[in-house]
């Protein structure tokens, strides 16, 4: 069977900026062409969501993004009957719409969703590529232009919230991490407008704080937070104030830990 890529001639300015870490762009395109579901795993704020937005625009595909949470049930993805004007009508959820119309459905932090979500995804992530809608009696076959992408942060997994092997092994997987120093400096500078020389100090600080992940901190400083911090500095805020607001306070509520982090920051940021 031959597949043809969709129109990917969007102007460069219309494609969200993304700096590749490896061959993930080529792998994404191949997975789309071969109708394979894709799993992205990596720490918070390392660029997973931006990557999906970049690839959807690059391939000219519509994108539906769902941020998963503790109360997200299968019905929130597939749809439900609602009362409208005295009538009961069926309203498709974002997953069902994507299956009917084609495009990418991206489920961010899939492990946060309720367990019944995995049951709905399983027939979509094997050779059947089917979405059963028990409430309407429909059995939808995903078109060739449909792609399911999910993501999660392995660092947050525990015995109560984990992606079962039976689910993980239904996906092609890409592991993400923070960019090498020079590349991260370039990305943060481009996103914030702050000069690379000033960004370099922030990236050095982030590297120091990331070492504390799993000890005093649940998570290290994300690239997203670096962009926020650099944006504040570029807008005229003093560097130490920006670092505290964007790189220290979001990481911890513990006074002792916060004081230790601020001490590290003071040693690197003038």
Nearest residue to 25 via CA among 56, 61, 3? 56
Q: Helices 181-192 and 223-234 meet at what angle, rounded to 10?
A: 50
Terminal CA-to-CA distance of the chain, rounded, Å? 60
For residue 225, give the 3-state DSSP assignment. Answer: helix
pLDDT band with cut points at 50, 70 and 90 for residue 156: low
Tell me 161's DSSP state: S
Is 150 within 8 Å of 163 (Cβ atoms)?
Answer: no
Considering the entire predicted model, what is its pTM?
Answer: 0.88
Domain 12-175 indexed as CATH 3.40.50.720: no
CA triplet 146, 143, 104: central angle to 5 degrees? 10
Q: Taking residues 253-263, what's their average pLDDT?
A: 93
Q: Taking residues 112-118, what's their average pLDDT?
A: 91
Q: Taking residues 17-21, what's their average pLDDT?
A: 92
Measured between alpha carbons, how far is residue 146 from residues 35, 105, 266 in Å? 7, 8, 49
Q: Taking residues 116-134, what's their average pLDDT?
A: 93
């Amino acid at each position: 069977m031959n597949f043809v890529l969709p129109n990917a001639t969007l102007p460069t300015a219309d494609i969200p900026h993304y700096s590749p870490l490896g061959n993930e762009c080529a792998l994404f395109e191949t997975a789309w062409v071969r109708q394979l579901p894709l799993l992205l795993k990596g720490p918070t704020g390392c660029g997973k969501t931006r990557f999906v937005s970049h690839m959807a625009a690059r391939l000219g595909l519509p994108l539906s993004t769902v941020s998963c949470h503790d109360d997200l049930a299968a019905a929130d993805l597939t749809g439900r009957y609602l009362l409208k004007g005295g009538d009961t009508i069926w309203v498709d959820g974002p997953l069902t719409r994507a299956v009917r119309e084609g495009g990418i459905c991206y489920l961010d932090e899939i492990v946060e969703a309720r367990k019944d979500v995995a049951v709905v995804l399983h027939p979509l992530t094997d050779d059947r590529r089917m979405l059963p809608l028990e409430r309407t009696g429909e059995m939808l076959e995903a078109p060739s232009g449909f792609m399911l992408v999910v993501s999660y942060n392995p660092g947050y997994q525990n015995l109560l919230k984990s992606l079962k092997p039976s689910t993980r092994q239904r996906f092609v997987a890409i592991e993400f991490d923070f960019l090498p120093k020079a590349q991260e400096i370039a990305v943060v500078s481009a996103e914030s407008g702050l000069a690379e020389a000033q960004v370099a100090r922030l990236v050095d600080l982030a590297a120091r704080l990331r070492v504390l992940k799993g000890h005093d901190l649940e998570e290290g400083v994300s690239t997203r937070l670096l962009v926020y911090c650099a944006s504040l500095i570029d807008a005229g805020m003093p560097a130490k104030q920006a670092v505290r607001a964007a790189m220290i306070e979001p990481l911890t509520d513990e006074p002792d830990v916060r004081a230790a982090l601020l001490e590290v920051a003071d040693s690197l940021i003038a």
